[in-house]
Amino acid sequence: MPFQGPDRVADPPTLEAIYHLRAAVWRETGDIAQAAFADGRWSDEHDPASLHWVMRDGAGELVAAARLSVHERLADVPEADEYAAAGLELAGRIASPARVVVAAAARRHGLAWQLLDAQDAAASKAGCAFAVRQSSPAMSRLLRRRGWQDAGLARPDERFPGVRFEVMVLELGR
């Protein structure tokens, strides 16, 4: 199946479609709480200032997405308390790659891997010393193959009672 992307996007209609895709993908996994993303979208205050990528299928349907935000200090990263709780102390500019979702019908074609490539390249280009994220088990498998290190289990997230997220760290800029 041919896929297009990853393409950088910033237009409001596509961002809105991404927020809906995030909620739909997670809802379909069955791993989220009934009350989570009740309005059918997942967005937060970091989305407007973040970089976003999408991938589309051969019919042009949005099937995958990812974002990246860049921060001067670890304390400024979204959900910084998770990284503090994990005992991380990282100097330098910090990348926060997040929100990778791939629709079920498009999985296992390497789309997540391509989105991770886009996030890592943008983080390096932005001069980040490290990248941090909280990853689901399926994502952690990919990350370990890409040189990410485990920093322990994240604290439970009530929106995702079925998922044991792990804190992961990648050293960039060497």
Ligand X SMILES: CC(C)(COP(=O)(O)OP(=O)(O)OC[C@H]1O[C@@H](n2cnc3c(N)ncnc32)[C@H](O)[C@@H]1OP(=O)(O)O)[C@@H](O)C(=O)NCCC(=O)NCCS
Could you tell me the CA-to-CA distances from 1 to 24, 96, 104, 121, 172 in Å, in that order? 21, 30, 14, 25, 33
Toward ligand X, which CB reaches closer, 111 or 132?
111
Toward ligand X, which CB reaches closer, 127 or 138?
138
In whole angstroms, the minimum distance from the beta carbon of 13 to ligand X comes to: 22
Toward ligand X, which CB reaches closer, 108 or 174?
108
Q: Is the peptide bond before 6 cis (omega within 30 degrees of 0)?
A: yes
Alpha helices in 86-127 (DSSP H): 111-125
In whole angstroms, the minimum distance from the beta carbon of 78 to ligand X comes to: 13
In whole angstroms, the minimum distance from the beta carbon of 46 to ligand X comes to: 15
DSSP assignment letter at 36: T
State the DSSP H helix or E strand holding residue 153, giving kind and residue range, or none if neither.
Answer: strand 149-153
In whole angstroms, the minimum distance from the beta carbon of 83 to ligand X comes to: 15
Toward ligand X, which CB reaches closer, 26 or 53?
26
Contacts with ligand X, residue ranges (CB under 6 A): 25-26, 29, 100-102, 107-113, 135-136, 138-139, 141-142
SS3 of residue 143 by DSSP? helix
